[in-house]
Amino acid sequence: MCNSSGRPIQWTLNRMPGSDDARLSHMSLAEMEKAGKFHKSFPQYEATPLTPLSGLAEYLGLKRLFVKDESYRFGLNAFKVLGGSYAIARHIAKELGRDISEISYDVLTSKELREEFGQATFFTATDGNHGRGVAWAANKLGQKCVVRMPKGTTKTRLENIARENAAVTIENLNYDDCVRMAAKEAEETTRGIMVQDTAWEGYEEIPTWIMQGYGTLALEADKQLQEYQSRPTHIFIQAGVGSLAGSVIGYFANRFKENPPVMAVVEAGAADCLYRSALQADGSRVSVTGDMLTIMAGLACGEANTVSWDILRNHADAFISCPDWVSANGTRIYGAPIGEDKRVISGESGSVTLGLVHALMTNPDYQDLKDALKLNENSEVLLVSSEGDTDPDRYREITWEGLCGSDKEPFADIK
């Protein structure tokens, strides 16, 4: 285990004033069902497993613990393809004046639709998984794709995207600046379309579609939990810009309107824009800047998605900022199961929530947070392992060599 005596976990309960909550309806069960139906039309579709970790739950003192294992998603080792593929399909449907219900995988990949729609270029910025998903979808549909990646990106992540016939580069920029670069290129390109999993003023439709695409994951998990006759009391969900968190929390806030689970947003300490925004407690967004150095590459984002933020400020119960040792511990715990539990291969961005739950249940330093969340022997906890070993070298560094990240990792710069 990584030594937890370094930089501590930081947290705040949600004390922000609510908004008119207009964005919650975008994550309605009906919208998620539309996305689920679309994804089921893919020949590669199979619901990813919901894995019960009964031995670990008993060890930690929880009633039940489940993990939605996204390492199986479409053979791409991460959940992100759900959003990129759905957003591209929604864009094509809108341009052709059709409803998304008319646009199945077979229709999208047909010669007739390609002739009708023609050729577009889909731009995006990514730390790895989102860009790979967009590139995969564009490639399957015979479209062009351009991907910009931030400094510090590993060669493995770039090569995974290049294999999908995308034009991909690593820039000497952080993630948020890569987003701005790709958006500018899309604007200057004939039939250039930005497909980004973050939103800002004036760019919210496609990010909303991406979040709805992620809803397939939440919809599957809900139905799988029902098969186990379980209703989650707690959901811990990781966040970069917050798109996945907004989707999952939005879904379950709609699903259990009268008595929602306790839902907590978990970030990398070097890129904790949501935590810092919640700490400010007035409902406004705080951005962080700088290199955002963390082993949690998929969470190294400094500016919150405006659509997601509106959902989170109304429905998240807590915002938690985690140093790298939390994630590294989570990866190792998943990889060394207890008793009859199945092994889960979870990358750094996928494992931080389990590392957090382990710390809360075993480390007395975090008793106050455990009590505030009412986490105890009656709790039924849902986690999402959002990626597998998408960077095999880093995964081995954690599991073989004991990499914990840096106890001296910098705090995020605020702007």
Q: Which residues are catalytic?
A: 80, 127
Is residue 63 packed enough to be buried (19+ CB in 10 Å), middle (13-18) or exposed (0-12)?
A: middle
Is residue 56 packed enough to be buried (19+ CB in 10 Å), middle (13-18) or exposed (0-12)?
A: buried
Question: Measured between alpha carbons, how far is 74 from 136 in angstroms, rounded to an integer?
Answer: 10
Q: Tokens representing 243? A: 């798109």
Question: Measured between alpha carbons, how far is 25 from 48 in angstroms, rounded to an integer?
Answer: 25
Question: Measured between alpha carbons, how far is 104 from 264 in angstroms, rounded to an integer?
Answer: 34
Q: Tokens representing 241? A: 């810009």
Measured at the CA of 176, the angle between CA 189 and CA 297, to 5 degrees, comes to 115
Do residues 350 and 127 touch, judged by C-beta distance below 8 A? no
Question: Measured between alpha carbons, how far is 169 from 209 in angstroms, rounded to an integer?
Answer: 26
How many residues are given for the chain? 415
Do residues 71 and 387 touch, judged by C-beta distance below 8 A? yes
